Amino acid sequence: MKRRKRINLRESALIILRQRYLLKNDKNEIIETPEELFERVAKAVASAEANFSKDPYICEKYAEKFYEMMANLDFLPNSPTLMNAGCPLGQLSACFVLPIEDSLDSIFETLKYTALIHKSGGGTGFSFSKIRPKGDIVASTQGVASGPLSFIKVFDSATEAIKQGGKRRGANMGILRIDHPDIEEFILAKRNENTLTNFNLSVAITDQFMSALEKKEKFPLINPRNKKVVRYVDPEEIFFLIAESAWETGDPGVIFIDTINKYNPTPHLGEIEATNPCGEQPLLPFESCNLGSINLTNFVKDGKIDWELLKETIHLAVRFLDDVIEINRFPVPQIDKITRLTRKIGLGVMGFADFLIKLNISYSEPSAIEIAKKIMKFINEESIKASYELAKERGNFPAYPGSIWDNPETPFMRNATTTTIAPTGSISLIAGVSSGIEPLFGIYYERKTLENVFIKEFHPLFIEILERENFSENEIESILEEVKEKGILRDMKLPEKIKRLFVTTYEIAPEQHLAIQSAFQKYTHNAVSKTINLPKEATVEDVKNIYLKAYKLGLKGVTVFRYGSKGEQVIYIGGSE
């Protein structure tokens, strides 16, 4: 093996890597270094190159390029790829959607597949909308149906038991259409803090509902078994209930299912009913997707964006993600089949908030929206070009005929989608940057890992700027002491130019959060993971307004979180909690 330069990782990154990513032997001893981890992943992924080339050195060549890209922390693939590439399990995707039909057979078959996916570190999304409502008839037993909620609970308990082999929190998305007769029970399901802890819930809102809401017309709830109207509801009441629950507990989120299907790249294969757990990846039943994110902070050189380097990285990252599909070992044949038909990949970004700081732009300012559009437009366009070039060498994705790409402008396309904005909850910690496109949570934070270890840190760019602004050592020490207590800079005596750059999530107006989400969504094929964080004082009315704006902006979904509304949070601001 080549001698490798030590990768420059922060202490918090090392903690996470040691806990969950570096391979261990059967005595639970760590048997690889971070350099060896990236080498393992690079080699495994680059082995796919042999499928398309006779060049005997092609795998080595790309293994080296992939290694450099990861070791520089310019790009990281989603966690399952880092954990499982080059290992016997070999399941590399973060996102899955599984079908649930209105039969015990289908429900329990999917439960088994869910267990297999969780074991490998993947997250699962389901639509429970086809299940007949509570109290409906069951012909075979002449009994009474127990409804979607009872089955969501079964999936939640199973997830609890598996806990993804200890490496990852069991993550599920449960979706119910807004016209399902059990919709109120679904909306209220997580008001009790200790239920469905392994589920995010989202209501699939339809255009028909939004129109009924606007026109103040009664809205029909329909039994999915026989398509008959069960009763009519006041859409305003349902809308209020959703906003109130989200205000209280953060759940449910909403997805705009018709908007999602409007952009379905392969409508000839069927309708999209659900997304993965964090909402950024709408998928067909049995489809999976592997994600990867570019660390934007690495592309700022002396306050300017290095577009050439970014372009190179985008092209290499698309190739990497397409190679992942080649070597991926899927837990069940149906997933293998449809994933290879569409070959969806999801390239996104992390470190957006830190990137803004490096460019001397405040997350709160209009220029943050402009730069978001500019950067994502570039990534989207280049990723399409990269996929186009790959298709020339490797062939189009098999479901290309009949897809949205099937036109003279794009005679070649390797992947039905190329871009997704993931939360990057873990990989941003490994890269040591802010997560996804979220603003900073605090300038000092304590973050709880899966193993309940608290990582305590000051924002590294904050310390850097204090040093650059020539504060003395003593001054820096007392500033940090105060930041540790307060978490944010708002009430501190510091120069405005510093305070404006280090603005934190609950200080940013909800409209600005939405505008940033919308800027990224405009240039993203799949969806955008973003939480609209609200201060504690926000009202249910505020939440409703956010939903209405999100719908009008054409977003595919929206999640709100009001500070302090849930019992347990993963990140606390400041040291006071």
Catalytic residue, from 39, 49, 273, 280: name it: 280
Among residues 253 and 423, whose Cβ is nearest to ligand UDP? Answer: 423
Query: Could you tell me the sign of the dihedral formed by the alpha carbons of 430, 431, 435, 439, in that order?
Result: positive
Contact 516, 349 (CB under 8 A): no
User: CB neighbours of 541 closer than 8 A, spacing ≥ 6?
Assistant: 243
CB 124 to ligand UDP: min, Å:
7
CB 425 to ligand UDP: min, Å:
3
Catalytic residue, from 59, 95, 278, 289: name it: 278
Question: Quick check: is 545 catalytic?
Answer: no
CB 85 to ligand UDP: min, Å:
13
Among residues 94 and 466, whose Cβ is nearest to ligand UDP? Answer: 94
Question: Quick check: is 95 catalytic?
Answer: no
Which stretches of the chain bind ligand UDP, using CB under 6 A?
Answer: 78-79, 94-95, 122-123, 168-169, 171, 276-278, 280, 291, 422-427
The residue at minimum Cβ distance from ligand UDP is: 123
CB 233 to ligand UDP: min, Å:
31
DSSP 19: I
Report CA-CA distances (Å) from 380 to 85, 375, 524: 26, 9, 6
Q: What does the alpha-carbon distance between residue 437 and residue 457 come to, in Å, rounded to a whole number?
A: 20
Q: Packing angle between helix 235-249 and helix 207-215, nearest 10 degrees?
A: 110
CB 346 to ligand UDP: min, Å:
9
CA 491 to chain centre: 33
SS3 137: strand
Among residues 400 and 445, whose Cβ is nearest to ligand UDP? Answer: 445
Among residues 110 and 396, whose Cβ is nearest to ligand UDP? Answer: 110
Q: What does the alpha-carbon distance between residue 443 and residue 559 come to, in Å, rounded to a whole number?
A: 23
Among residues 78 and 245, whose Cβ is nearest to ligand UDP? Answer: 78
Return the closest-CA partner of residue 546 out of 507, 509, 503, 520. Answer: 509
Question: Quick check: is 280 catalytic?
Answer: yes
CB 314 to ligand UDP: min, Å:
18
365: buried, middle or exposed (CB in 10 Å: 19+, 13-18, 0-12)?
middle
Q: What does the alpha-carbon distance between residue 170 and residue 243 come to, in Å, rounded to a whole number?
A: 26
Among residues 204 and 243, whose Cβ is nearest to ligand UDP? Answer: 204
| Radius of gyration for the chain, computed over Cα atoms and rounded to the nearest angstrom | 24
Which residues are part of the catalytic machinery?
276, 278, 280
